[in-house]
Amino acid sequence: MTRLNALEPEQASGKAKELFTTINGKLGMVPNMMRTMGNSPALLGGYLNFSSALGEGTLGAKLGTLIALTVAEANQCQYCASAHSFIGKNLNGLDENKIEAARVLGHIDQRTDAALLFANKLVNKRGHVTDEDVESVLAAGFTQGEVGEIIGHVAINTFTIYFNNTAKTLIDFPVVALHQTAVI
């Protein structure tokens, strides 16, 4: 049972209605997470602005989604794992093998693996990564700016995970079962 209610887009007004109209125009729907965030248009607007800014970064949508999947599993958020599995497959053209690899820290390619391992370490170490952790992701070919973007993707996904786990947002994507992830 949900703890926070999702607004019905047809009943929204003011800034929430404007944001829902924009979201619906881009996605063809307003996902339950965003409908629930719409109870605070400031919160929803902040999320959308941060997400949009990261979307303009150099990491790209595919790697951003793979990071989201790694972070969802590390934080055990079924809503996020389900949403990003759907988004990865249907919007970003990721195959099932890459989606699954991101969720369990399997092998994709050396560069992507380094980014996902670093993202996982950020989550599990609560940001207190070591010099070696940072050197490792830089050695995999990421620039300092891209390391910052990885941190940004971890941050925004941690935010949505905390929100969805607190709200118990009703999953409106094909549901995926969570894996038990090991702490690194």
pTM: 0.93
Domain spans in the chain, listed from the N-terminal domain onward: 9-55, 60-166
Q: What is the predicted pLDDT for the residue at 180?
A: 72
Give the C-alpha distances (Å, rounded to integers) separating 23 from 70, 75, 167: 25, 26, 20
Model confidence at 181, in pLDDT bands (50, 70, 90)?
low
Range 8-33 average pLDDT: 93
**Residue pair 115/84 in contact by the 8 Å Cβ criterion:** no
Quick: pLDDT tens for 122-164.
999 999 999 999 999 999 999 999 999 999 999 999 999 999 9
Q: What is the predicted pLDDT for the residue at 174?
A: 94
- For the chain, give the percent of residues with pLDDT over 90: 92
Closest CA to 71 of 127, 33, 29, 32: 127
Q: What is the predicted pLDDT for the residue at 26?
A: 87
DSSP3 helix / strand / coil % (the chain, rounded to 5): 65, 0, 35
Quick: pLDDT tens for 68-118.
999 999 999 999 999 999 999 998 999 999 999 999 999 999 999 999 999
**Residue pair 24/30 in contact by the 8 Å Cβ criterion:** yes
CATH C-level class of 60-166: mainly alpha
Quick check: 1 pLDDT over 90? no
